[in-house]
Each structure stands twice: as structure tokens, then as C-alpha cells.
Chain A
Amino acid sequence: MLSFLAERRAELGLLTAQHVVLVLLSTALAVVLGVPLGILMTRRRALARPLLALAGVLQTIPSLALFGFLIPLPVVGGIGARIAVIALVLYALLPILRNTYTGILQVDPAVVEAATGLGMTDSQRLRIVELPLALPVILAGVRIAAVVSVGTATIAAAVGAGGLGSYVFRGLATVDTRLILAGAVPAALLALTFDGLLALVERSPRPGRAAGVLAVLALVTLIGAALARPARPGGPRAVVVGSKNFTEQVVLGEMLAALLEDRGLAVDRRLNLGGTQLCHEAVRAGQIDLYVEYTGTALTDILKRPAGGDRNAVLREIREAYAPLGLRVGEPLGFNNTFALVTRPDASRRLGLTRISDLARHAGTLRVGLFGEFLERADGLPGLMKAYGFRLAVPPTEMDLGLLYQALLAGRVDVVVGSATDGLIAANGLVVLEDDRRYFPPYDAVPVMHAGHLDAHAGLEAAVSALAGRVNEDAMRRMNYAVDGGHRAPAAVAREFLRSAGLLSR
């Protein structure tokens, strides 16, 4: 573990810094927004209930759902730190709003009346009497908000904003406990640090002054972070490479990035984004310039069209439908990552499972694990059950992609929905059930590019086309296993492949 951390010292430092900046920035904005709103509520009491209710509701929205609402919005939408900060601010608002409101209301009314009687204006009374006396309560709210933000900020990684969540998500995607800990432990330490610092301020004899000192420190940190951020490469803007949040996608993202860098283009990596829709919205908005999509997914999940047709027809259909969206679809990379229903060899023997149609006989008792997306997709479970004519009696268990194989190997579920190129299939001798009714469309991996940016990045399309037909299923599976099973870094695996395929010039 120590050598593991030593290897990643620089990256860990960067992610921690990103995390701290996300928390500081969002907490600061929540204070700037929440304290005045809280004060307003004490002056216009009728506003208090609806505002507190709204902030309460915001807090109950799951983070990924909140991102789903925010990404398509103009101006504030898109991916990256901005949207992560907006979500974090919305979450931090409730404790700050509530504590400002109750903090001011709990000031002794006799003291407030004395202040009025001395001839203070409303704003003088607020500044000289109410805010100072409410400060400990307000600070307690800020403390809660900051500590909670440290935890919630891990979700920033789902929208490409970095932070320690990157390790957590990457660790989950590649079933690497060390990575998960490398993200979770520093996050916990950060939370304790913030909590301790703010507790000191709360308990200090002059909380006003201490809060001021802390605010200045936070500001200095933010400015320092803004200055320390590496300047974007001069000349043309860097190419932004995106990927979804599972091993293969990260490897492919690293592969594209390495290829582009080899051709002399500057690259900004936004890997591990939180899902298909997120990547699609991001590339349409030009927030990322390219990522790798699968034809069947584009057809059914993005375009919402019925599955069907051979691989060339599907590719043609997607190209035609994508052009008006401002997207260009490159040449297939050479492998079909279809969905795979996977079971353990013992279960396969015991239940006689070799084809998907065999599942019908056990529909009453079978326990299936899958990732949430598969429940909703047009090419997902509902269509599959219809095509094969069975209904699962036990509701399927939703899990993160990275946890599916652990659950299968531990015997918690009998069948999981994975991908044909999952490295863990071969490594563990698992059985892939045959799609004997040809339910799944082809899922050829293709690069999807933001057409409007191609002119600005001369050589981008040519560089990407060098990969056309060069990655077959077997190669992809081996790379996935090198990461999932061998715990190697996706970037190293991708680079090694490119070199052995003779695709790197240096």
C-alpha cells in the first residue's frame, strides 16, 4: 500500500487539491448565498417555510439525478467543475439557511428591543447585535455544510471535475480496493480536518475574528489554486477526451489520448464520466471533443430507435442521425462489446445454463445482478424478457458495474449482466450465455467526435482513424483484465497496446 501511494503521490496531491478547492468554493458560495437568504427570511417570515422546504427537497435529490437535470441547462450546464460546484452548493444550502434563520431568531428579544431603543437602524441592529450573537449557530451550520461537502464532493468525479472521488470511482470500476481506499481515506481525513478547524472557530472566544481569519485563509487557498492551475497549452485549445465510467472506457480514453499526444496534440482527459447520457450530452455541447461509443447503445439508448439490422446498416443509421446533432462518427475500432449474461461454471452445470433461453426454466428463482442503466435501456432487461418470453420473479439487484463480478463470484447472485469484453470473464473461467434469439444489436466501438471542433484540431480525425479495425475482442479483453485483474494503470496498458500495434511514433 505504501509503495502504491508513493507511486501516485503527485496524482493524489492533485486530486486532494481539487477536492479541497471544490469543497471550499462550494461552501463559500453557499455561505454567500445562504446567509443573506437566511437573514431575509427573518425579515420576511412568510418566505421561511417555502425556502426551507425547497432547500430540504434539494438535499434529497440523488446527486446523479441532480446532474441529469443540470447538464442540459444552458449557461450553467455541461460537465466539469462548474456543475459539480453548483450541485454541492445546492446541497450545502439547507444547513446554512436553517442555522442563519434560527440563529437570528433565538437572539433574546429583550436584547433586540434594547438595540432598537438605542436608535439602531435595521441594518445596524443586524450587524452589531443579531449577527454577532447568532454567529455560533451560523458557524455550526457552515461546519455541517463543509463536512458534508467533503463527502458529497466525491461525486464530482462523475462529471469530470476530479477530486478524490476519481480514485473511488476508478477503484469501483476496476474492483481495486487499494484505489478506493486511496480516495476514501484522504477524504475522511479532510472531513476531520475541516470539522476540527471549524470547531476551533466555533469555540474561540472571538468567533467573529476567527471566522474572518478562516475566510481569508480559504480565499488565499482558492486564489493560490487558481494561480497554480497549469496554464492551458498555448495556441489551439487542448483536445478534450472523455470516457464513461468503466474499465474498458477508461482504457480506450487513455488510448485515444496517448495517440493524440503522440501526434503532437495537447490533450485534456475527462475520463470516468458518469454514464452514457452524460457523455452524449457533453460531446454534443462540445464540453468534450470525443469519446468512444457503442453502435447498439447509440441506436437504442441514445436515439431511442428499435434494435435491428446488421452492423453496417446500424452504423449507417447512426451516422445519418448523428450528423444533424453536430456529431461525427468515426470508423469502428474492431470489436463488438455486446452485453453478456454471465454465470459461474457451477451454476451453469447445476442449472443447465448455456443459452439465454435456458433462463426461462429458472425464472421463478433466479437472482440477477445488473447495473441500473440496463433496467431502463431500450435494449435492456424489459425487452430481453419479452424477446425470450419469461419474467424474473426475484427483482434484479442493481449494483455498480465494478461490484457485479464480486457479487457473482461470492454467490450472492446467479447471473450478472456484463460486457463481452470484461476481462474478469476469462480470468475466472465464467460462462457467457449465448444470445440464441439474437436479441442484442451489434455494439461496435466507434469514436464519436464533436464535428464543430474538428477544424480547430487539425490532425485529430486522422489520428483517431489510425485505430480503425485495430482493436479486436481478444485484445480488448486482455487489456481489461490487465487493469481489473492485474491492477495495472489504464494509461500504461493503453500505451503498451499502442506500442505493440506499432501505432506510436515515439
Chain B
Amino acid sequence: MTAPAAALADVHKRFAGGAFALDGLSLAVAPGEVLVLLGTSGSGKTTALKTLNRLVRPDRGTVSVLGRDVESWDPIALRRSIGYVIQEVGLLPHLTIAENVEMVPRLLGWEPPRRAARGRELLALAGLDADRFAPLRPRQLSGGERQRVGLARALAADPPLLLMDEPFGALDPLTRRRLQDEFRDLQRRLGKTVVLVTHDVPEALRLGDRVAVMAAGRVVQEGTPAEIRDHPFPGFVQEFVAAALP
């Protein structure tokens, strides 16, 4: 087995005055793989995701990205090597779509012509007409369009690893379905490693190479979508999957 692109080993995290958000969590994602963290809200999946780009620092345990402990990374360099997509608010509301998409290249110090070209290329890749969308602001776009922009922005500096937190959350079912399909195609084409957080069981089963079901800060079952669908562990996983599937 190749070295994982990202891994958590026995990670604990407790927020001030709260219960454990992460309680001995261990995970690994292989290069080019899509790992879905599936769970209800409060299961610790978003916290787990944020340990990978050091927005959250564990109390105990190790987190490594691209073969290096995140504590040995410069946090700024780490975050610039990782694409980060979040639901809705991820776009900076006062900047244009072009400025949003070109943000990471700008932070990396690319020359304006190069990052403008990259921005147009990515908008096209995400299925948006660059001429029309570049000068607009996020609030002028529909939810689906905003999510496309968010994905384009995360891919801008061609990072090997993408972190996605409920990326298709606030969309109508039709748009969600179309974006999921497009994302899956794009991921296969680009070969990015992806860690995706969702509470939506069909989405997890459709997008994941592997799915880790989380509850109370731990993984309760991990396997391929087929394993999770056909052989859910009795108890929580079984109920959770059964409730979501017809």
C-alpha cells in the first residue's frame, strides 16, 4: 500500500467546557482516493476535517498531510497546498467571482496575467461562463453557481488534496445531483485526493471510494459504499443508513 495522502492517528480533541469532539479518531486516505466522513451533526466529522488544515489542533494524537506531521508544516504553506471547499459562506462576499477564484494564486504571489488565465480556465472547468461570471459578486449567483465557484477556487493552485465540508449542502435536489455527478467526473479526471464531509447518506455512497461512518468522535464503521449499504453494522449505522435509503 502506498503512503497515505493524509492520516489521523488516535486524535483527541475537546473544546472548552464540552464533551469530546474527537475521541481517539484514526483515519487514512490513499492518494487519489475519495474518503467520505459520514455522520450526524455533532459526530465530530467537521472537526476531524479541520485538523487536516490545522484550523483545529488536537489535544493528543498525530495528523499528517502528504507524509508530514502537520505540526512540522508552516500552517500557511500547509493551507495553500490544500484545496478547501465549504458550504455557502466560503466565498468572500465583498470580492468578485474572479477575485475569489484567483485568491490562492494571489496569496502564492502569481503574476496577475497568469492567475487571470488560471481563473478563467477553472471557471470553465467548473462549468461557468468566465466572461459572464468573473465580474459578479457572490450574492448575484445562485446556490449551485456559488458551489461551482467554491470548487474552482479550491482547485486554483492545483493542490494534491481537497477538503470539502458539506459542499453540496444547501442546494435543491436536482442541482445537487448534477453537481455531484460533475464532481465525480472531475475528480476521476484530475486524480485529486479528497476528504469530503457530509450527513447525506446517498451522497456519501455515490461519491466515496470509501466511507467512514462517524459517531461521538470515532469511526464506527469504515468500508466501501457497497459494504456500508449492504452490510451496515447493527445499531447506529444500520438505523442511520436505513432511515436515509428507500
The total of chain B residues at the interface (CB under 8 A) is: 21
| Nearest Cβ on chain B to A394's Cβ, whole angstroms | 62
Q: Which residue of A lies closest to B153 (CB)?
A: A118
Instruction: From the candidates B91, B92, B93, B104, name the one contacting A119 in the complex (CB within 8 A).
Output: B104
Contact of A133 with B94 in the complex, beta carbons under 8 Å: yes
Query: Is B79 part of the contact surface with A, judged by Cβ < 8 Å?
Result: yes
B-binding segment of A45-53, A120-128, A156-164, A448-456 = A120-128
Contact of B107 with A114 in the complex, beta carbons under 8 Å: no
Instruction: From the candidates B53, B94, B107, name the one contacting A120 in the complex (CB within 8 A).
Output: B107
The 10 closest A-B pairs by CB, nearest first: A119-B79, A119-B80, A110-B89, A117-B84, A114-B90, A132-B94, A119-B76, A121-B76, A119-B107, A118-B103
Per-position binary interface string of chain B over residues 7-49, scored 1 when its CB falls under 8 Å from any chain A CB and 0 otherwise = 0000000000000000000000000000000000000000000
The total of chain A residues at the interface (CB under 8 A) is: 17
| Contacting residues, chain B, for A120 (C-beta < 8 A) | 76, 107
| Nearest Cβ on chain A to B54's Cβ, whole angstroms | 9
Instruction: From the candidates B76, B82, B89, name the one contacting A111 in the complex (CB within 8 A).
Output: B89
| Contacting residues, chain B, for A113 (C-beta < 8 A) | 55
| Nearest Cβ on chain A to B197's Cβ, whole angstroms | 13
Query: Is A108 part of the contact surface with B, judged by Cβ < 8 Å?
Result: yes
Given A108-B89, A110-B89, A111-B92, A117 and B55 contact (CB-CB distance below 8 Å): yes
| Contacting residues, chain B, for A118 (C-beta < 8 A) | 79-80, 84, 103-104, 107, 153
Per-position binary interface string of chain A over residues 76-115, scored 1 when its CB falls under 8 Å from any chain B CB and 0 otherwise = 0000000000000000000000000000000010110111
CA distance A129 to B92 in the complex (A): 7
Q: Tell me the dominant secondary structure on chain B's binding face.
A: mixed
CA distance A178 to B213 in the complex (A): 83
| Contacting residues, chain A, for B78 (C-beta < 8 A) | 119
A residues neighboring B (CB under 8 Å)? 108, 110-111, 113-121, 124, 128-129, 132-133
Q: Which residue of B lies closest to A115 (CB)?
A: B92
| Nearest Cβ on chain B to A43's Cβ, whole angstroms | 17
Contact of A111 with B79 in the complex, beta carbons under 8 Å: no
Interface centre among A111, A115, A117 (most CB of B within 10 A): A117
| Contacting residues, chain A, for B55 (C-beta < 8 A) | 113, 116-117
Query: Is B86 part of the contact surface with A, judged by Cβ < 8 Å?
Result: yes
Interface centre among A114, A120, A129 (most CB of B within 10 A): A114
CA distance A121 to B79 in the complex (A): 10
Q: Which residue of A lies closest to B157 (CB)?
A: A119
Interface centre among A118, A129, A133 (most CB of B within 10 A): A118
Contact of B86 with A114 in the complex, beta carbons under 8 Å: yes
Given A111-B89, A124-B107, A116 and B79 contact (CB-CB distance below 8 Å): yes
CA distance A382 to B63 in the complex (A): 79
Q: Supply 26 A–B pairs (Cβ within 8 Å), ascending by A.
A: A108-B89, A110-B86, A110-B89, A111-B89, A113-B55, A114-B84, A114-B86, A114-B89, A114-B91, A115-B92, A116-B55, A116-B79, A117-B53, A117-B55, A118-B79, A119-B76, A119-B77, A119-B78, A119-B82, A119-B104, A120-B76, A121-B76, A124-B107, A128-B92, A128-B103, A132-B94
